[in-house]
Amino acid sequence: MSGEDRADSARWVQPERPLPVPTQDDVAFFEAASHSEFVLQRCAACGLFRHTPRPICPACHSLEHLWQRASGQGAVYTWTVVHGPTLPAFEAELPYVVIDVHLDEGPHMIGRLRDCPPADVRAGMRVEAVFEPGDDGIMLVAWRQSG
């Protein structure tokens, strides 16, 4: 077995979790998340909150925007239960729930739902953002049921 083969075997035993690579459009989101702060991009001209971050307002086409602290609260709009197949890094977590959160500020955000059995997920269920450290120092946003 060559060294390269051993490296491949090690990766298979402990697969790396894929992580987002921040771009110029969303680096401010991940920077805030690194301090457990939930922010959204907001149009400076018309005030529309938007997600995913992008350079142009979909409502008024303004290029001006700001980042504003947001509630980190929302409701489950819809969801899916992942039974597999999935990436090797997530196999041990099957089945898991991915939700579409309708944020209180208006936009939708996709993320993992933590600490909730798949059978208990309901449309309209209130959720709040939680911050989870990933590898390489990036902080990920997930969701859990809130009161």
Report, in Å, the least distance between residue 21 CB and Zn ion: 27
- Determine if 146 is a binding residue for Zn ion (CB under 5 A): no
What is the three-class DSSP state of 59? coil
Q: Positive or negative, the Cα torsion across 139, 144, 104, 108?
A: positive
- Determine if 89 is a binding residue for Zn ion (CB under 5 A): no
DSSP secondary structure code for residue 58 in this structure: T
- Determine if 60 is a binding residue for Zn ion (CB under 5 A): yes
Residue 131 pairs in a beta bridge with 141
- Determine if 43 is a binding residue for Zn ion (CB under 5 A): yes
- Determine if 44 is a binding residue for Zn ion (CB under 5 A): no
- Determine if 7 is a binding residue for Zn ion (CB under 5 A): no
Do the Cβ atoms of 41 and 69 come closer than 8 Å? no
Cis amide bond preceding 118, omega within 30: no
Find the binder of Zn ion among 15, 62, 73, 88 (CB under 5 A). 62
**Footprint of Zn ion on this chain (CB under 5 A)?**
43, 45-46, 48, 57, 59-60, 62
